A and B are shown apart, each in its own frame.
Chain A
Amino acid sequence: MKTNIQAKSFVLSWVLALVVFLAGATSGFAQIDTNIHAATKNMESHIGDKTGHAYGDGQGRPDAGVQLYRRYCVGCHGAGGDGEGENALWIDPKPRDFTLATFKCRSTPTGTLPTDEDLFNNITRGFVTTNMPAWNALTEQDRANLIAMVKAFSTRWQTEKPGTPIMIPPETPANIDSILHGRELFEKIQCWKCHGPEGHGDGPSALTLTDTKGNPIRPYDFATGTRFKCGATNQDLYRIFMTGLDGTPMPSFSDNIKPEEAWDLVHFLRTLQVSLKTPELTTFQTWLKGHPNTLKPIGQEVPPGA
């Protein structure tokens, strides 16, 4: 009899605990609930043969992108996708605000929406020198679902179409002529004012720069960087300054320089990566040894009245 009472009490205590837990769990989930537009709830993404879904995927997974977003993204990008997650205060640079649908790394012209592949590549690659890691450990399907979720935070994706990716012509030879011409461009279009004469990110304007949300932003330091924010190859570097990094002071130069000139600028920028000892740097240093004191320092201001 005593054992019977003990057994009932024991089972009852577990059942009660389960009830208490369920009651608590329901309210607790609100903490990371995502807030997206009803109109964009069923947003999709298309990457290759994969279709990502923010909500219903029609295959019994009503919360494909939402669950993933909760798990991986909400801490920085926020429940509303506005970049105001709990960690945003401590993060520099700040997390992307998806409600603006403005993205730095794109293959499309400045001011346009990126392609789904652009966003997929961003998630896969992560962003160097930021808190955004490479999520390549996630399955491609999960990343596709996350892209759909990112798009669900802005109605821009319903009213606009992504831009057409820019054409990148074949790379020209990285010879000394190309490098020297690139150096001229670097000075002419005033890259140095932000990135500094040596590419250290310490140009005269560097400390005054802010992004479109008013957050301070530092220019890229070519000297120490091993990767660029939007990739690591010469093609990536070409794409960066021909599309610009939307939302930052880095503009698109597609209207200022011709495609072949852009390759010259790429080759010169590679010489600024002194920590990598790039082939372009070797070519440039070899030339400099044979031509001492030939080049005027970049950004040398003419004294007033001279």
Chain B
Amino acid sequence: MLSEVIGFKRLAVRLLPSSFLMLSCMILSFIFIDAKPAYTLPLSHSVPVRAIPAFARKYGLPCSACHTAWPELNFFGLAFRDRGYQLGNERDSPIWQNPSFWPVTARMTPNWHRESTDQQLTDAVPGNPASGFGPPGTVMQHGFDLSGMDLWLAGTLYKNISFSLLPSSDSTGTFHFENAFVRFDNLAGSKWLNLQVGRFELDNLISEKRFLFLSANGGFYQNYHFIPLGDSNTFGIGDNQMGVALQGHSSNSYTRYTVAVLGSNEGGVGFTNSVTPPAPANNFTGRDYDVFLAFTQGFQTGSLGVQRIQPFIYYGHRPTIFNQTVTGVPIPGTGSGNEPFYRVGVQSDFFLGKLEFLPFFQHARDNVHLANSVPSNTPLSPGMQSAIWNGGFIETHYYVNPKLVFTQRWEIVRMAQQGNTATPSTQGNIDAYSFGYRWYPIMFSRAGLAWHMEYSIVKSIGMVPLSLNGSGLPPLTSTTPVWSSSAFVGFDFDF
């Protein structure tokens, strides 16, 4: 336990000064881009990001009214969302809208990207698998591509009743419901009682669904999805979950809380962990529920802006045993042998005028049975123990003006205790750095267009990068670092 605390402190001390330094070097670092040959899978792990011009059209407000730089919400946008997508001017109900208004938004990003991953085993003679494997090398791929697509409907059904429905596809057009919920606001006439039911993003102050990175390696937070090697848990705090959330907020949303009860299915459907069943047998879910608690407080600091901080905790269980049919087929939704895990941490949003800092710290623990993928009714082998890790990042945005933002992020994950004492202590550790900018050549209330440039590089020790770049194979040894990088340029548009 002591080692966990020390590790956490070290993490904090390392992150803070380095982030300042990296921001100042952001532009210069263009010239140090790694240009080794590479190859990759297409944006398999990048997270679609959100903005809703349908609201801008409904209310006649420019994108910048609700977004620092879309899709990230600013204070006003957050308050608007907390009110249930309402301005509160007695004109929110759809009865006040032109009958032809349809609250739908489409978003996509045609792009060119380049991916590179080293320590990959490929055929010794290109195109000839019979030649066997050559020494680990770098694979590279680049070309024009498409992102996934969002087709988002969101709005009010009536005063104080809102909804969101987001069919989202990958770049091949395979759809799933990224979110789908209905929300009841101002219950009993109180802004402190709002109820949301369905599949939705956890109330993370630093939203992964609304952030400013798109590349394969940088387009997600490592900490939001990291799972140690050999762990059967699939939970990610950045994953949309299914359940019910009670939320409340002050009139300016500086003070907020969320209490959510969520299914133990990772937001999956059909009693599986997958959003597009049929899922693999080990993705079946149990009959237990998780709890997520978050509290956010904002403070005005004069001309610097509003500073916000949010402690959070997610506590849940995952099944390790499933009922099976007489033919040995696991039955979805019958999981038992539930074993616990938790994520606890703090996220913040600090402003120094035009400079925004988003620090995130997380401490995580998975039970020994989850960490080793061992059913709870099976004896543990010597050396097996819970998996514990710490992680964090500092993301920085510099808003030159509402139409131009520079971004950078440094992120690390450190294993504090491996699930098995035989595992090297550093296996699974991650270092990631991303930087780029977004320029919005137009900024009005009908649509959005952003020119997006980004570079991201990740080092993961003894494991495949979470981006799944490269051939997807782990390195030959469990202490070998795998470097994976992405360069991305594209036109991000939504209407």
- Which residues of A are interface residues toward B (Cβ below 8 A)? 3, 6-7, 10-11, 14-15, 17-18, 21, 24-25, 28-29, 31-32, 57, 59, 61, 64, 67, 70-72, 74-76, 86-87, 90-91, 126-142, 225-227
Contacts and interface: CB of A to CB of B under 8 A. Distances in A.
B306 A139 contact: yes
Contact of B441 (A24, A57, A91): A24
B473 interface: no
Contact of B300 (A6, A24, A140): A140
Nearest to A70: B402
Given A32-B403, A133-B59, 9 more contacts: A7-B35, A11-B30, A11-B33, A32-B402, A70-B64, A72-B62, A134-B87, A136-B252, A137-B75
B303 interface: yes
B189 to A, nearest CB: 11
Contact of A227 (B33, B36, B90): B90
B224 interface: no
A51 B90 CA distance: 32
A28 B60 contact: no
B89 A25 contact: no
Interface residues of B, number: 50
B324 interface: no
Contact of B445 (A14, A75, A225): A75
B161 interface: no
B36 A75 contact: no
Given A75-B444, A75-B445, A87 B60 contact: yes
A105 B31 CA distance: 56
Contacts of A131: 59-61, 87, 89, 91
B302 A141 contact: yes
Contacts of A32: 62, 402-403, 443
Interface in B447-479: 451, 453, 455
B55 to A, nearest CB: 12
A76 B303 contact: no
Given A17-B489, A137-B79, A28 B59 contact: no
A86 B35 contact: no
Contacts of A137: 75-76, 78-79, 252-254
Contacts of B35: 3, 6-7, 10-11
Interface string B346-371: 00000001000000000000000000
Contacts of A14: 30, 33, 453, 455, 487
B37 A133 contact: no
Contacts of A17: 453, 489
B18 interface: no
B404 interface: yes
Given A10-B35, A21-B439, A137-B252, A15 B76 contact: no
Contacts of B64: 70-72
A140 B87 CA distance: 19
B130 to A, nearest CB: 27
B305 interface: yes
Contacts of B251: 134, 136
Nearest to A67: B401
Nearest to B35: A7
B442 interface: yes
Nearest to A129: B90
B60 to A, nearest CB: 4
A138 B253 CA distance: 10
Contacts of A140: 300
Contacts of A86: 444-445
B401 A139 contact: no
Given A3-B37, A67-B402, A126-B89, A57 B303 contact: yes
Contacts of A134: 87-89, 251
B106 to A, nearest CB: 21
Nearest to B91: A129
A141 B87 CA distance: 22
B300 A72 contact: no
Nearest to A144: B303
Which 5 A-B pairs have CB atoms at the shortest separation, nearest pair first? A7-B35, A87-B60, A137-B79, A133-B87, A75-B62
A228 to B, nearest CB: 11
A51 to B, nearest CB: 10
A75 B65 contact: yes
Contacts of A71: 62, 64-65, 402
A130 B60 CA distance: 11
A17 B62 CA distance: 27
A218 B30 CA distance: 58
Contacts of B37: 3, 6
25 contacts: A3-B37, A10-B114, A10-B487, A17-B453, A17-B489, A18-B30, A25-B439, A28-B442, A32-B62, A59-B303, A72-B76, A87-B60, A126-B88, A127-B89, A128-B90, A129-B89, A129-B90, A130-B91, A131-B61, A133-B61, A137-B76, A137-B254, A139-B75, A139-B301, A141-B302
A45 B21 CA distance: 37
A38 to B, nearest CB: 21
Contacts of A126: 87-89
B353, B401, B442, most chain A CB atoms within 10 A: B401
Chain B CB within 10 A, most for which of A17, A139, A226: A139
